[in-house]
């Protein structure tokens, strides 16, 4: 089954939310409950808007049931979801083939090199 971009972003946010809730539970069990929401980042504004607005849309209604947990976590203040442009997503370096300039940007985003260093 082929996923749309929005469905793929929903899936990523669902998984991110599951992991955030697990970590929040772990911290609570060791008597270190987290007070601030756990930040999640997405490069899809449609997914972010859907997480904040339960309005049904014909293209998303079949995924909204699974996405309900993300919406609940946002409304309860357990997670926040913010937009990050694709070019600023360090995870892309792990999941996509990158040109040399994009690879260098990826390395910078991970903090492994200083920006504007001369090339050898």
- Domain map of the chain by residue range? 5-84, 86-120
Query: What torsion do the CA atoms of 91, 92, 94, 100 make, to the nearest 10 degrees?
Result: -130
The set of residues, in sequence order, having a beta carbon less than 8 Å from that of 112 and lying 6+ positions away, is none
- Per-residue pLDDT at 26: 97
Q: What is the pLDDT of residues 54-91, one digit of tens each?
A: 665 555 565 666 788 888 999 999 999 999 888 787 77
Confidence of residue 35 (pLDDT cuts 50, 70, 90): very high
- Per-residue pLDDT at 60: 56
Helix (H, G, I), strand (E, B) or coil at 33: coil
Beta strand 79-83 pairing with 38-42:
parallel
The set of residues, in sequence order, having a beta carbon less than 8 Å from that of 94 and lying 6+ positions away, is none
The two three-digit tokens of residue 44, written as one number? 């899809």
């Amino acid at each position: 089954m082929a996923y749309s971009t929005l469905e793929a972003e929903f899936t990523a946010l669902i998984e991110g939310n599951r992991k955030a809730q697990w970590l929040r539970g772990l911290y609570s069990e060791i008597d270190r409950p987290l007070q601030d929401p756990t930040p999640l980042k997405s490069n899809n504004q449609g997914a972010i808007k859907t997480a904040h607005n339960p309005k049904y849309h014909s293209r998303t209604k079949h995924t909204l049931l699974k996405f309900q947990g993300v919406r609940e976590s946002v409304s309860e203040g357990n997670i926040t979801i913010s937009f990050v442009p694709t070019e600023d997503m360090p995870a892309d370096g792990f999941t996509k083939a990158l040109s040399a300039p994009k690879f260098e940007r990826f390395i910078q985003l991970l903090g492994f090199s200083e920006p504007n260093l001369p090339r050898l």
